[in-house]
């Protein structure tokens, strides 16, 4: 039998246990950390822009052809679209068992097929991201500078920081909020055009031609041919002011004569602030199948390298680090797990009264749990609240096998049998009992393992972790525990004072428990009525208590959406948004506030967002 083999070969058993511990510790170091098991639906967001088109036009001319083509993709569970001025956003949600990479390939093929049905003036084809726009960003980064112009700061944010972070594993999209992209703004005076007899189309043609980068001509002979390129592109307001837009009767008319030309930004109706100061806000979203902690760690590791490449005046401030509350929650559960192990070992010591006898089941618990980490790594699980909950519950289950084995060995030793023989005989008597106990405990979790959907995806890991821990406990109890039990000393020692006090208290409890049982037998109707009353009260509480998928968790973060009337102007909306942000920042419990307002691809001018930490 296995116990006899291990008792007679302690060195091999010890080496086997050490190997299992090392494998488990290696698995623990490699297992990712997460809040809950991966249960996100594969989601892809498709966006398209058509400048100036109304929401109705975007819905009928852009969204509808795309959706009709997306409906042919297998595995889609839900399609939703949002249309605003010049923008369409389509969210495709797939079944849990669908690979997001394979789905992305199907979406790209559908976009290519539907493109011939889209408007001809849709110059930029629709694009897709493997992200859910409804998900909160895993991290926010405020980019600020006291000396650089906002357009220069935006150039750093959009062309250096955002592309570098976008290439990190697990990052789906880096959204630039409050973008201040440089642009030359030309405000044409119609009265001046009328005085000079010039139409607006003449101005438009001149501006377009001024940025034409087509070669101006070619030189060729019988031996070679050369293309002539001229740097005629104008890059700032001063150069555009001198642009000749017309030349009637040999009198050149410059753009500055009929228009106010200023260095400005592409979108003046958008802005973002960090603690009341203007900033460029980068919102980082992860892919649905990515680990939040790994994504945040990768971003934090990249930020110092990016900062070294930027001017010294540029500051990057991280806010709403989603990995921090996850680590804090995992740390709390780990403390609970260690406390549970300590309490179990303490109870064993108080009942046995022998330190050496306590060490054996005390070693069985960490051995079983550490080996479980190795299997968790093989199965692709993570260290999260659900798996640690399973391990915490398993502590009370895995110690039972070792106690049963040790108790039977001690019984034979107390009868005068030598330790080696007592271990062999005691292990042989309860081996099948331990195996049957383990199988019956695992059977309890079979319904959890067979659950489907989102609930099943979450609690399958819980059931598997408990089952693995039970199997590990059975193996340890059949190998390491009898081997250690065969090395116990047969000498009896006087129990220490704490054990003697515990025994007195336990004996007093046992006597009073007997008296309590006698009272219950004499007043059986009262006891039966109390039992039925407790059952009725439990049923009432079950029906009336609020239900939720997960309990509410306070992570110290708020995402606040603001909305004003639809015809509000950007300056008015900006002032209202700043008042709301200032009121939130005035709260002593609020540390930092980020505010985003204005028209963008994802929101209209009367909407804003405030992030509070």
Q: Give the DSSP letter string of 33-74.
A: B-SS---PPPEEEEEEE-TT--HHHIIIIIIHHHHHHHTTST
- Residues 567, 475 share a domain: no
Instruction: Determine, yes or no, domain membership for 568.
Output: yes
Model confidence pLDDT, tens digit, residues 201-221: 888 888 887 777 667 777 787
Of 493, 521, 541, the position where a domain reaches its end is: 493
- pLDDT at residue 535 in the model: 93
Q: What is the CATH number of the domain that holds 256?
A: 3.30.2090.10
Instruction: Determine, yes or no, domain membership for 302.
Output: no
Instruction: Determine, yes or no, domain membership for 174.
Output: no
- pLDDT at residue 540 in the model: 92
* CB atoms closer than 10 angstroms to residue 77: 13
- pLDDT at residue 536 in the model: 94
Instruction: Determine, yes or no, domain membership for 242.
Output: yes
Q: Are 234 and 210 in contact (CB under 8 A)?
A: yes
- Residues 562, 484 share a domain: no
Comparing CA positions, the residue from 296, 316, 320 lying closest to residue 308 is 316
Candidate from 239-248, 357-366, 468-477, 595-604 with smallest mean pLDDT? 595-604
- Residues 484, 374 share a domain: yes
- pLDDT at residue 539 in the model: 92
Instruction: Examine the pLDDT at 134 and tell me if it is beyond 70.
Output: no
Instruction: Determine, yes or no, domain membership for 297.
Output: no
- pLDDT at residue 207 in the model: 84
Instruction: Determine, yes or no, domain membership for 538.
Output: no
Model confidence pLDDT, tens digit, residues 31-71: 888 777 777 778 888 888 887 788 888 888 888 889 888 88
Domain count, the chain: 3
Q: Are 373 and 417 in contact (CB under 8 A)?
A: no
- Residues 482, 588 share a domain: no
CA distance 27 to 372: 9
- Residues 376, 473 share a domain: yes
CA distance 370 to 472: 9
Residue 145, beta-bridge partner list: 314
Beta carbons within 8 Å of 44's beta carbon, 6+ residues apart:
91, 92, 94, 100, 103, 104, 107, 128, 129, 130, 131
- Residues 465, 376 share a domain: yes
Instruction: Examine the pLDDT at 532 and tell me if it is beyond 90.
Output: yes
- Residues 582, 479 share a domain: no
Q: Are 465 and 501 in contact (CB under 8 A)?
A: no
**Average pLDDT rounded to a whole number, residues 258-264:** 86
- Residues 459, 373 share a domain: yes
**Average pLDDT rounded to a whole number, residues 219-242:** 78
pLDDT-derived band at 133 (thresholds 50, 70, 90) equals low
Averaged confidence pLDDT in the chain: 84
Q: Are 379 and 451 in contact (CB under 8 A)?
A: no
Residue 549, beta-bridge partner list: none
Q: Which two three-digit tokens encode residue 535? A: 């059952």
Confidence (pTM)? 0.73
- pLDDT at residue 599 in the model: 60
Instruction: Determine, yes or no, domain membership for 260.
Output: yes
Comparing CA positions, the residue from 231, 242, 180 lying closest to residue 207 is 242
Q: What is the CATH number of the domain that holds 485?
A: 1.20.1640.10
Instruction: Determine, yes or no, domain membership for 517.
Output: no
pLDDT-derived band at 491 (thresholds 50, 70, 90) equals low
Q: Which two three-digit tokens encode residue 206? A: 């001149």
Q: Interior CA angle at 35 toward 29 and 39, to 5°?
A: 105
- pLDDT at residue 127 in the model: 85
Model confidence pLDDT, tens digit, residues 336-372: 878 888 888 888 888 877 777 788 888 888 888 888 8
Domain range for 564: 558-612
pLDDT-derived band at 602 (thresholds 50, 70, 90) equals low
- Residues 565, 467 share a domain: no
pLDDT-derived band at 489 (thresholds 50, 70, 90) equals low
């Amino acid at each position: 039998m296995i116990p006899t083999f291990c008792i007679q070969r302690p060195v091999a058993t010890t080496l086997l246990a050490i190997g299992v511990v090392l494998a488990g510790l290696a698995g623990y170091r490699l297992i990712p950390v997460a809040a809950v098991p991966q249960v996100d639906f594969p989601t892809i967001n498709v966006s398209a822009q058509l400048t100036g088109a109304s929401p109705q036009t975007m819905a009928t001319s852009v969204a509808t052809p795309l959706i009709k083509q997306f409906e042919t993709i297998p595995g889609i569970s839900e399609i939703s679209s949002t249309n605003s001025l010049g923008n369409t956003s389509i969210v495709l949600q797939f079944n849990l068992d669908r690979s997001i990479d394979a789905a992305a390939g199907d979406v790209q093929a559908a976009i290519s097929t539907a493109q011939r049905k889209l408007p001809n003036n849709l110059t930029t084809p629709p694009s897709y991201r493997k992200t859910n726009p409804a998900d909160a960003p895993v991290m926010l980064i405020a980019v600020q500078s006291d000396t650089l112009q906002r357009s220069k700061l935006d150039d750093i944010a959009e062309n250096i920081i955002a592309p570098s972070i976008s290439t990190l594993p697990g990052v789906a999209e880096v959204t630039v909020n409050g973008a201040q992209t440089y642009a030359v703004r030309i405000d044409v005076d119609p009265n001046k055009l009328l005085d000079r007899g010039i139409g607006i189309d003449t101005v438009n043609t001149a501006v377009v031609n001024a940025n034409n980068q087509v070669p101006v001509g070619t030189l060729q002979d019988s031996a070679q041919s050369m293309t002539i390129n001229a740097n005629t592109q104008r890059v700032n307001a001063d150069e555009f002011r001198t642009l000749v837009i017309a030349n009637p009767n040999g009198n050149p008319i410059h753009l500055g004569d009929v228009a106010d030309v200023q260095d400005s930004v592409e979108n003046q109706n958008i802005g973002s602030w960090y603690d009341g100061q203007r900033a460029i806000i980068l919102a980082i979203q992860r892919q649905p199948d990515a680990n939040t902690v790994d994504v945040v760690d990768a971003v934090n590791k990249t930020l110092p390298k990016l900062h070294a490449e930027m001017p010294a005046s540029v500051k990057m401030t991280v806010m709403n680090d989603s990995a921090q509350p996850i680590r804090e929650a995992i740390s709390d559960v780990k403390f609970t797990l260690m406390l549970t192990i300590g309490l179990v070992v303490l109870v064993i010591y108080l009942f046995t009264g022998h330190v050496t006898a306590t060490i054996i089941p005390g070693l069985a618990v960490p051995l079983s749990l550490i080996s479980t980490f190795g299997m968790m790594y093989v199965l692709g699980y993570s260290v999260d609240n659900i798996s640690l909950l399973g391990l915490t519950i398993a502590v009370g289950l895995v110690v039972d096998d070792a106690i049963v084995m040790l108790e039977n060995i001690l019984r034979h030793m107390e009868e005068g049998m030598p330790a080696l023989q007592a271990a062999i005989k005691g292990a042989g008597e309860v081996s099948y009992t331990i195996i049957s106990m383990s199988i019956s405990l695992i059977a309890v979790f079979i319904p959890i393992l067979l659950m489907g959907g989102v609930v099943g995806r979450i609690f399958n890991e819980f059931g598997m972790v408990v089952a693995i821990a039970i199997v590990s406990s059975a193996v340890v109890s059949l190998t390491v525990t009898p081997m250690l039990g065969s090395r116990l000393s047969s000498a009896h020692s006087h129990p220490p004072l704490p054990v003697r006090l515990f025994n007195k208290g336990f004996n007093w409890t046992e006597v009073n428990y007997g008296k309590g049982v006698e009272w219950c037998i004499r007043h059986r109707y009262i006891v039966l009525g109390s039992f039925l009353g407790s059952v009725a009260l439990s049923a009432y509480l079950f029906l009336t208590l609020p239900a939720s998928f997960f309990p509410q968790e306070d992570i110290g973060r708020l995402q606040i959406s603001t909305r004003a009337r639809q015809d509000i102007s950007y300056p008015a909306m900006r002032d209202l948004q700043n008042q709301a942000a200032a009121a939130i920042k005035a709260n002593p419990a609020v540390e930092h506030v980020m505010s985003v307002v204005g028209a963008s691809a994802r929101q209209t001018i009367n909407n804003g967002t405030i992030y509070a930490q």
